[in-house]
Amino acid sequence: MNGIELLTRRQLLMAGSLGAAAWLVPGVFADELQRTPTMTEGPFYPDRLPLDTDNDLVIIGNSTTPAVGEITHLTGRVLSQNGSPLNNLVVEIWQVDNNGAYLHTGSDNGNRRDRNFQGFGRFTTNQRGEYRFRTIKPVPYPGRTPHIHYKIKRGDRELFVGQLFVQGHAGNMRDGIFRGAGGIIERELVSADFRRIPESRIVECRANWDIVLGVTPEEGQPGSKKSKG
């Protein structure tokens, strides 16, 4: 099942919960995907970016020593609300390492930070709106359930700031930011299934997360004044 089909089914579920009156409102569910909920950036966006900012967070530069953690192949697409792919957008992610430390001078346990984990990466979406990263499966740290931070930009203009959660993790409903996403539908929209890769000879998993922005391909072009997060 692709992301568009999944979102459409979620919309139908939401429509059922709203009742028949929703169908009487012009423009409601008018062939549009539901926007991915935005969330706080948090205080730990790197205050000093690493020299290596590519999309492989597991290996830094020319090192041969990988980061500690369950390697995760993280993919997805960035889409407009009508399902059109949005290309040439910069997707940034950042997260704690396997010890729960951010790439930030204010991280509580920075002295335990895995120096082999990049902690931050960037990727520019292609014509199909696709992005991909190799990172580690997020882990919990005091006060937070596992998550990965996201930011999407067009040049110096931010179009989206959000967080991705591990679907079904036991700590999710104790996390105020996860609960703050909204109802059941919204919480599903910020979650992904981190699934083990059975054919892998090492412990690896994959996750896919499509992000729907409130912009059209035209609005997302450089110089447009209509872009919004």
pLDDT one-digit tens code per residue, 63-102: 999 999 999 999 999 999 999 999 999 999 999 999 999 9
CA–CA distance, 206 with 75 (Å, rounded to integer): 8
Classified as helix, coil or strand, 11 is: helix
The residue with tokens 């190799």 is 134
Residue 10 covered by a domain: no
SS3 (DSSP) at 8: helix
Q: Give the range of the structural domain holding residue 149, as residue numbers without chain letter.
A: 33-212
pLDDT attached to residue 13: 41
Domain annotation covers residue 189: yes
Q: Do the domain assignments include residue 74?
A: yes
Q: Using CA atoms in the order 206, 105, 90, 160, what is the torsion angle rounded to 10 degrees?
A: 90
- Mean pLDDT (the chain, rounded): 86
3-state secondary structure of 158: strand
Task: Say if residue 161's pLDDT is above 50.
Answer: yes
Residue 181 CA: distances (Å) to CA of 49, 143, 149: 28, 17, 14
pTM (two decimals): 0.82
Q: Exposure pattern of 84-118 as b/e (b: 16+ CB <10 Å)?
A: ebbeebebbbbbbbbbbbbbbeebeeeeebbebbb
What is the distance of C-alpha 66 from the center of its chain?
Answer: 22
Helix spans in 24-180 (H) = 176-179
Decide if 14 is inside a domain.
Answer: no
Q: Percentage of the chain surpassing pLDDT 90?
A: 73
221 domain-assigned: no
Is residue 1 in a domain? no
Does 156 score more than 80 pLDDT? yes
Whether residue 219 lies inside any domain: the answer is: no
pLDDT at 215: 76
Confidence of residue 32 (pLDDT cuts 50, 70, 90): confident
Please give the tally of structural domains in the chain: 1
Arithmetic mean of pLDDT, 221-225:
49
Q: Which strand (E) or helix (H) includes residue 206?
A: strand 204-208
User: Does residue 118 lie within any of the structural domains?
Assistant: yes
Q: What is the CATH number of the domain that holds 196?
A: 2.60.130.10
